[in-house]
Structure formats: structure tokens, C-alpha cells
Amino acid sequence: MSTRTRPRAHPDDDTTTYREALREGLREALASDDRVFLMGEDVGRYGGCFGVSLGLLEEFGPERIRDTPLSESAFVGAGIGAALAGMRPVVEIMTVNFSLLALDQILNNAATLRHMSGGQLGVPLVIRMTTGAGRQLAAQHSHSLEGWYAHIPGLRVLAPATIDDARHVLSAALADPDPVLIFEHGSLYNAAGTLDPAVHQVDLDHAAVRRQGTDVTVVAYSGCVSKALEAAEELAGEGIGAEVVDLRTLRPLDDATIVGSVRRTHRAVVVDEGWRSGSLSAEIESRICEQAFFELDAPVERVCSAEVPIPYARRLEEAALPQSAGIMAAARRVVG
């Protein structure tokens, strides 16, 4: 799979894009369960700020494809309330950057109500949002804060990195009795490929091994998976077999798959578009050290975003983000 923009899928061939796969997932959910509705800023007439819900307003009407005013806290909280009342809302927040205005609702209500109520309430709410950098949008549109959300008990945090995952992530999320956050990487929307006709659901409980290898485990998620795969391809040419683990679910983490892979390769590189300090990559590295310390042949390496607000200029932005060259360098160091 590539993150580069390709021409839109031709109607008579079976290629599709990450964006279309997400839309198909939405269409299926809306058609099969009348408790499901989509709400958010510009999801209706505009078609979604990244075009994911284009056409759904015409198909399902304004009650179920609901444009909201700019009020992240109110419409996310309204999604929580509607979920409490038995609906299955899908709330779109334009991007993770703006989700901070709804952080109170997500953390203090969605994630917490079940516990605080002693198990009486559940919040089966799905929140979708775009994350990540790489499109020269500068700091306020380029954050990768999914790791923050992965810190919170009571939430489930998903990051589809492939077209198949994008297609099936929503039905899995809607089946969950708890709030689920879906992070869609902004640079993946145009990624094109074909859907596997044999896949009808995705296993969100487990990370996916996207490429097998025996020398080093490269753990990545979301927009970094394709970079890890590119790196693995190049490393193969140098005789280094990199196994690429796509987390898919950032909370709860699938320790068994991650650690299982490291037990085979004895070396690990963790890739994270978030900042290094206090990041998801730090959590993964700790778990590897806690669970497989004596199996390691080298210290675990991390490839993260530089600790800087993501800058606008292309050269600077590229330097700030994890790139396949950096992943390759880290892999070479651990293989030694």
C-alpha cells in the first residue's frame, strides 16, 4: 500500500481508496442499523472535511447525517448522551487537533461514566478523527495525539493503516459497548488498493504482522506502517529481515503479538509519529523490556517525531517526522 496520491479509482476497476473504504463502512453501518447516525462539522452538505461522508446526506437524509455547529464539546457530549440513551452515534471530529476542545467530554464522561456509575451506564459511541502530519499544514493541524487517548482506561483506540482495516473498522467499533476512537491518518485518505474480498471483518483485538522477518521487529501504526514496510523492503536488500507489526489497536495494546515477535527476532525498533517523551512508543518499549528483557540482543530503538511543533516548510517537516531512512538506520543499529 502506498500513501502517495493516485488517480481516483475508475468505476469499472476494483481499486478503492482508504477514504472510499471508510465511506463504505459508514454506508453499511447506516443501512444496517437505524440507531446509527453520523454527526459532526460539515459531514453533510460539505461531504466531510476530507470527503469521507460525501454522498451520504443524499442517501440517508439530514436527520442521520447531521451537520453540527462548531462546538466540539457540545456535539461530542451530545453523542455521549445519545449513546447513553441507546443510539449508536458516530461522531466525526475534523481532526485530532480540534478534539482538545472535546477532551473533557471524552475523558471525563465517555471514558468514565461506566465506572463512576458502578457499571450501570455504557457509552457505545464511536468518534472518528483525522490525525497526523505530512501535508505541510504546520503545527496546529499536524498533531499526533492518539497516544494521549491511548492512556485513558475506558476507551478503545483504533488506528486503521490499511484499506481493509479502514473498510471494516467501523462495524467492529460499533459492536463495542464502550467508546471507541478511530484515528484516520490524513495522508492515507488517497491511498489506493483493492479490498480483499475474503475479508469481512477485522480482528481489532490483535495487532497484525504485515511482513515477516527474523532479524528485527519494527512496531508501527497508522501512517508509519507504510514507512516501516518501505524500510523493510530496502533492508531485505541488505540481508536484514524486518518483521513489521501494525498495532491497529492502540488501546488495549496487543502485548502478545508485539512481544511474541520480539521473542523471535530478539531486536526491536518502535516507530511513533507522536513526540518521544511520554509517548506510546515509550509504553511499547517498556512492555518489551518488562516481558522480554532477557530475550533482547540489543537495546530497543525508537523512531519518533522530533520534539518540536511540526513546522510548515517541507524540508523541516520531513526532518521532524519518522521516515523510512530513519527506521532503516535504527534497524541497522540494533542488528549491529
Provide the annotated active-site residues: 72, 141
C-alpha grid cell, residue 22: 471508510
> Least Å distance between CB 79 and other proteins?
6
One DSSP character per residue, 161-175 reads -SHHHHHHHHHHHHT
Q: Which residues of this protein are in contact with other proteins, per CB under 8 A?
A: 37, 63, 68-69, 71, 73-87, 89, 104-105, 108-109, 113-122, 124, 153-154, 156, 176-178
In whole angstroms, how far apart are CA 245 and each of 108, 229, 251, 257, 304? 32, 10, 15, 8, 16
Closest CB 108 distance from other proteins, rounded Å: 5
Distance (Å, rounded) from C-alpha 125 to C-alpha 107? 13
Task: Tell how strand 208-211 and strand 242-246 pair up.
Answer: antiparallel
Any idea which residue has 442521520 for its cell?
64
Of 11 and 118, nearer to other proteins (C-beta) is: 118
Nearest to other proteins of 155, 268 (CB atom)? 155
Nearer to other proteins, 83 or 321 (CB): 83
Nearest distance from C-beta of residue 156 to other proteins, angstroms: 7
CB of 105 to other proteins, least distance (A): 6
Distance (Å) of CA 326 to CA 7, 150, 261, 303, 319: 29, 25, 21, 7, 10
| Secondary element (H or E) of residue 227 | helix 224-237
Nearer to other proteins, 162 or 249 (CB): 249
Smallest CA-to-CA distance from 326 within 240, 224, 245 is with 224
**Least distance to other proteins, CB of residue 248, Å:** 16
Q: Is the previous residue joined to 252 through a cis bond, with omega within 30 degrees of 0? A: yes
